[in-house]
Amino acid sequence: MQEFLYTTTVFVFERSATRQQLQEMLQNLLADRFKLKVSWQTTELQGFVLYQGNGGSKLTETSSEETLKEVTRNVGETVQRIITGKASMKAAFADFVTNRPPLNGVVLDRTELKGNYTFNLVYTVPISPPPGVKS
């Protein structure tokens, strides 16, 4: 099968365009240029939402950025996971923990925190058997 790579630059001059209007513009572009049909679907997913607690954020703000890293190690009958780094809440942390045990789902950021923060998250989960193996 032959593959093609296209780069398309789109300029939207209508700054007041709504999300719906932008989706329609994209849909029309794909249909006209590439003869593609696009459909939008809404589905319910299980997941988690990050909010600030009553006392506000206790995270330490930082001016620098450092890639988030995860270290995993077995501790007895559990797995200890350590996530460290300096990153933004939305673009880095929420996306980083999405689909990682034990969350295994979508994580949405509703903290409204701006800027970068220092993360040092340590948590322990039970060892999971390999897929297809009953415990």
The one-digit pLDDT tens for each residue of the chain (135 residues) are 677 777 777 676 767 778 788 888 888 888 888 888 877 788 887 788 888 889 988 889 999 888 889 899 998 888 898 989 998 887 678 888 776 766 777 888 888 888 899 999 898 888 766 666 665
Residue from 104, 103, 69 nearest 86 by CA: 69
Its pTM stands at 0.56
- CA separation for the pair 96, 89 (Å, rounded): 10
